[in-house]
Chains A and B, each alone.
Chain A
Amino acid sequence: MSVPSSSVAALRERFGDAILRHAVLSGDSIVYVQPDRSHEILAWLRDDPGQRFDYLTDVTAVEYRDAERPLEIVWQLRSLDRKADLRVKAELDKAAPLEVDTVCDLWKGANWLEREVFDMFGVQFRGHPDLRRILMWETYSEGYPLRKDFPLRGHLSRAEQTRQALAANPEAHYSLEELSIAEAFHELPDDVRERLRHGDRGKVR
């Protein structure tokens, strides 16, 4: 099973140089694309009648142990109609700021997936509506835990970690929607609504 997906040839024909290379691994086709054209390519994969990748299975990132290798952003696509899968990757130079376009406008489900990648790897998603930490608490100050230069136990001492954790005010870190009282939003005073809209995030004391 080393035959690449038909999408690979279609992508090469449509986008030419923006498709850097492709590989087939265990029957799965992997396409490497230019990071700055990723949004355009993913939009075409979703909308083209021959592709119809209507379901975004996952957005994640990979950092390899070898320091010289770039950090990869991975979009795992699925076409529910065609019963076909495609993995799209973009390589980001670690020396430059880690930035890539959001795909929230294409698949709404990308919202939390991209927040997780931001939380764990520090990748900025341009145009993301609400890019903040999702697994770690929002005032978490030690960096991005899944990066290879992040020590397993974190940067701070256990006592300092405990102090910051106890100082966190979890209730201040969730939007009204997440607290499931969204229906009461319009009955709140203006200043409270404004505070919640901007997110009263609390501070590390």
Chain B
Amino acid sequence: MGLTTAAASNQATISGQSPNWVTARLSDLINWSRTRSLWPMPFGTACCAIEFMATAASRYDLARFGMERQAFSPRQADVLICAGRLPFKLAPVIRRVWDQMPQPKWSISMGACASSGGIFDNYAMVQGIDTIIPVDVYVPGCPPRPEGLLYGILLLQKKIMGESLTDQQLRVERTVGPDGLFLPPSYIDEVSEPFGNSIHQTRSA
């Protein structure tokens, strides 16, 4: 019935449907297949990348979770894994990589530095890659052990299983706006505030 209603209102796509039994079963099938063939795009910048390599190698074997193929081309990737700190100089690069990835896509922020700037609360470092690109899963650790990253990937799979084909917001590209930012400036300033031990840093001015 949902299908005929949609056809009548000229919305012949699945995402135009209201949720119903058919779309729910279809979502389950598609989400299941997506979770089992996530192709990671490793964006390794620091020591987290070493742990990522360990995760992908034989002992921890990322391939067990359907990530057999590392996609070093963003155009063939599903998951951007930022493993390591992100300096401002790399911000336009990871943004370009993210923009080049086709939907559906997700991202994992691996480690303390990628998630919050970590110990690098200084002039050169992005204070969390979520001020540059959207992030689905944050993996804490400095660096996280392979088990930690695998747990993050399992969380992402769980998240994907909960997605609905009829949710039109899910696949919307969140691009850099006319003000040159991806988030409102006040939000970036707020999440970049010093926290924890870093408020006690000595500084010259």
Contacts and interface: CB of A to CB of B under 8 A. Distances in A.
Contacts of A66: none
Contacts, number: 80
A187 interface: no
A167 B123 contact: no
Interface of B is mostly: loop
A166 B176 contact: yes
B80 to A, nearest CB: 16
A163 B185 contact: yes
Interface residues of A, number: 26
B199 to A, nearest CB: 12
A151 B182 CA distance: 26
A127 interface: no
Given A152-B121, A153-B123, A162 B88 contact: yes
A6 interface: no
B196 to A, nearest CB: 15
A169 B204 contact: no
B92 to A, nearest CB: 5
Given A153-B121, A164-B88, 20 more contacts: A150-B123, A150-B204, A152-B203, A153-B123, A153-B203, A154-B123, A157-B185, A158-B131, A158-B189, A159-B181, A159-B185, A161-B88, A161-B123, A163-B179, A163-B181, A165-B89, A168-B89, A168-B92, A169-B92, A170-B93
Interface of B: 88-89, 91-93, 95, 121-124, 126-127, 131-132, 176, 179-182, 185-186, 188-189, 192, 201, 203-205
7 contacts: A137-B88, A153-B123, A160-B185, A161-B123, A165-B92, A166-B176, A168-B92
